[in-house]
Amino acid sequence: MPRFRPWLSPLLPLALAVVACGGPFPQSTLRPRSDFAGAVDQLFTSIFWWAIIVFVVVEGLLCYAVIRYRHREGRPAPRPVHGHTALEIAWTLAPAVILVFIAVPTMRTIFATAGEAPPTALKVEVIGHQWWWEYRYPDLHIVTANELSLPVGRPVQVSITSADVIHSFWAPALGGKRDATPGYVTRIAFRPDSVGVYSGQCAEFCGASHANMRLRVLVLRDSAFQAWVRRQQAPAAAPPRGSLEARGRDVFAKSACIGCHTIDGVSKGIIGPTLSHVGGRATIAAGLFPNDSPHLARWIANAPSLKPGALMMQMPVAGADLTAVIAYLQSLK
């Protein structure tokens, strides 16, 4: 008769850890790159080891009991034990004591990561939309989308809300997620400690393309961040008269594009992301595709085929007009 062998199960995590090794894991929660993410990771690690200790002890007792007391011929009938008060008090207190060791650092971390940054912090407003992210820097008068640029080493105060349904803003390397709830402004605060590009995505189911609501956070050296700020604060590039880009701007201005998108000096739509500096972004469609000509062409022609449910309609722009629009958008650095 095959016996129960759960002592093999601790080997499973080991095997999976081997499987999981290799690859850069751009969205891992286990590689904190900010004070917030670091505090969370530290807390999780300590709870994890408590859990491992409890797991080994309790599963060990269970396995021992199942093997040691299995039925064998000729064993006397067991004593009908109904309970043992001291023992039961002991194993009520033991988990309670362990929980104190988990609860105290938990409470400390809750208040330490309650979302309040010092007043000098860089202020960023995050607004969730179906299915993209709008970022506003109120003090810098910058509005952008999907790719959030931050300076390294400076505290950031993030205020989060939504324009439609509930989303959740999550860039794991920089900290825990926070829901974007319409009608509410919630806050997180963190200080990025390493330069890099960190990926994240919406973490609350928000409709058809929830899976396609991704984001990137670019943590830049201070000089690079200042350069980025200057580019964003500059007016949208005006193409030279007679150029391909100028034709693109004219096509854009005469198309339905202007109903949804803003380009400084050209259009004032607010339904879709601003395109004033879209050429400076590395990805389009909320982190889904590289910002290159083939993807832009497919996106403009038929966005819903690339992103189910996308509100952007199929645009009747083709041929030379399409090429011109793409050239124009790419010129908006």
Interacting residues with other proteins between 299 and 328 (CB under 8 A): 308-309
Given 143, 150, 156, 206, the residue binding other proteins (CB under 8 A): 206
231, 149 Cβ separation under 8 angstroms: no
Q: Judged by CB under 8 A, how many residues of this single chain contact other proteins?
A: 105
180, 169 Cβ separation under 8 angstroms: yes
Given 118, 138, 182, 259, the residue binding other proteins (CB under 8 A): 182
Q: What's the min distance (Å) between Cβ of 297 and other proteins?
A: 20
DSSP secondary structure code for residue 192 in this structure? B
Place of tokens 């004219």: 250
Binding mask 253-292 for other proteins (x = CB under 8 A): ----------------------------------------
CA distances from 175 to 35, 39, 40, 264 (A): 8, 9, 7, 33
Interacting residues with other proteins between 118 and 147 (CB under 8 A): 130
Interacting residues with other proteins between 151 and 180 (CB under 8 A): 160, 164-166, 168, 170, 172, 175-179
In a 13 Å sphere around the CA of 309, the CA atoms on its Cβ side amount to 12
DSSP secondary structure code for residue 18 in this structure? H
Given 14, 80, 86, 230, the residue binding other proteins (CB under 8 A): 80
Interacting residues with other proteins between 84 and 103 (CB under 8 A): 84, 87-88, 91-92, 94-96, 99, 102-103
Residue 306's identity, in one-letter code, is: L
Bridge partners (DSSP) listed for residue 138: none
Nearer to other proteins, 27 or 243 (CB): 27
Alpha-carbon gap, residue 32 to 24, rounded angstroms: 13
Nearer to other proteins, 132 or 228 (CB): 132
* Helix extents (H) in 140-239: 222-233
Q: How many other CB atoms are found less than 10 A from the CB of residue 297?
A: 16
Alpha-carbon gap, residue 214 to 198, rounded angstroms: 11
Nearer to other proteins, 79 or 241 (CB): 79
Nearer to other proteins, 107 or 320 (CB): 107
303, 285 Cβ separation under 8 angstroms: yes
Nearer to other proteins, 4 or 234 (CB): 4
State yes or no: residue 186 binds other proteins (CB under 8 A). Answer: yes
Binding mask 18-57 for other proteins (x = CB under 8 A): -xx-xxxxxxxxx------x-xxx-xx--xx-xx--xx--
Nearer to other proteins, 110 or 320 (CB): 110
Interacting residues with other proteins between 209 and 238 (CB under 8 A): 209-212
CA distances from 118 to 96, 111, 122, 154, 284 (A): 36, 14, 9, 10, 33
Q: What's the min distance (Å) between Cβ of 156 and other proteins?
A: 16
Q: How many other CB atoms are found less than 10 A from the CB of residue 225?
A: 19
